[in-house]
Structure 1
Amino acid sequence: MIGLFVVLIIFLIAAIFLSFGKGAFLIAGYNMMSKNEKQKYDEVALCKFVGKIMYGISFCLLLFILSEIYQNTILLIIGIVLTIFFSIFGIIYMNTGIRFKKNEQS
């Protein structure tokens, strides 16, 4: 349980950092792009969205901790389902459409 709590704190710190539009180096895939590729994306919008997903996953971690404290498997199941949902939703949302691409018309 202590391990989950430590991970929860780390995720919350990362979520707060990303919510301010900073910390793009924390986003896997984005930090591996070349500078030319990175210039095509709205870094602040991408960071803010990933921060929101991190808040959701942090909530799921809180549910895991509460399920262990109260010995309630329903909370654990809800946390697992929400974690899967947030992960799949985030991947699909970020990789479909041009939501985070900068406008080429300047």
Structure 2
Amino acid sequence: MDKIIAFVIQLAFIALLVILGIVFSKGKGSFLIAGYNTAGPEEKKKYDEKALCRFMGKLMFILAGCYAVIMFATVLDRTEFIWGGIVLILVICVWAVIYANTGNRFRKRK
């Protein structure tokens, strides 16, 4: 019974990540991006909002895939894959922060 509850909760979380991925991939939902939503109007004009949202959409799909690994590992009682999925999520999040904040990738071209 506990595995079923864990499976349903994890599946709901994966569905949330996929829905966010779809929203971001359409170039919408910038108000959900931390840092961008708190920037002033002048600062927001410097960034390509659609490109930033598309990047976040791809990131959500990747994180959903990583969490799917954790979900199946939980059902199969494979602790090593659970830890592998957690490490993978952490590595991808660190990479995404570094990627997004270097190289002015999302700045508008003049």
- TM-score normalised by the chain length of structure 1: 0.92
Task: Decide which of 96, 100, 109 is 1:103's aligned counterpart.
Answer: 109
Unaligned runs of 5+ in 1: none
Alignment correspondent of 1:26? 32
Runs of 4+ in 1 over 3 A off after TM superposition: none
Provide the aligned C-alpha RMSD in A: 1.0
Distance 2:22 2:64 in 1: 11
Identical pairs, percent: 38
Deviation, 1:28, is 0.8
Distance 2:87 2:74 in 1: 16
Distance 2:26 2:80 in 1: 34
Q: How does 1:2-17 map to 2 (within 5 A)?
A: 2-17=8-23
Unaligned runs of 5+ in 2: 1-5
**Amino acid of the residue matched to residue 80 of structure 2?**
I
Residues matched between the structures, number:
104
- TM-score normalised by the chain length of structure 2: 0.89
Distance 1:75 1:15 in 2: 24
